[in-house]
Structures are given as C-alpha cells and as structure tokens.
Amino acid sequence: MATQFTLNEILEKAIQKEIGSRLLYIDLSQKMKEQFAKNAFQELVRQEQGHQNLLEQYQQGELKAGTLSRGQAVDYKIAEHLYQPEISPDMQLKDVFLLAANREMHSHEL
C-alpha cells in the first residue's frame, strides 16, 4: 500500500531539502580555492533561499493555488547521464553546476 502524505508534509520535506542544499552550498563556497567556484556556490545559496521562501509562503497560504507552476521547464536530462562529481576544493565550474543539477533533479523527483 502506498504511503499517503498531506500537502503540508510534502511542503515541509521540500523546505528541509532546500535548507539542506543551501547549507551544503554555503559550506562548499567556503572551501573552494577558485573564486569562480566560490561565486557559483554563493549564487546557488541565493537561489535555494528563494526556493525555500517561495515554499514557505505557499505553505502559509500567502500564495494562491497554482502559483508554484511557472510553465513547462525543459529537462535535457543532463544530470541523469553524467556522473555525480566528487566534491573537492579544486572543483571545476562544470562540476559545480553538475552537482547542483543532480541535487535539483532529486528535489524535483521528490
């Protein structure tokens, strides 16, 4: 039998994933040697905070139904076909974005 979740439980889980991603990106931005990687992770921190804020507003009833839909996103399935990069202070920019794409893919699947 499939487990049933309330909308609030789903939103709470999604909010926690956004917080987890944001904290990971903060940590990684502080560990990177290259400024471009630091900047990329800092931008990802801002985006994850925006996602969290939007989900919290929706959860609190501040946004009307359907607000979370922003049209059809194009999914090129890049994260599904490439390896999960190893996290290191010397990450290349492509690996920073591949790491973020993998995390976003898993959040979307949730």
Residues 91-102: b if buried by 16+ CB within 10 A, e if exposed: beeebbbbbbbb
Per-residue CA distances from 47 to 1, 44, 70 (Å) = 36, 5, 15
Has residue 25 got a pLDDT over 90? yes
Has residue 30 got a pLDDT over 70? yes
Residue 71 Rama label (left phi>0; alpha psi -120 to 50; beta) = left
Token couple for 70: 């922003």
Confidence (pLDDT) at 104: 79
Rg (CA), the chain: 16
d(CA 100, CA 96): 6
The model carries a pTM of 0.68
Confidence (pLDDT) at 65: 64
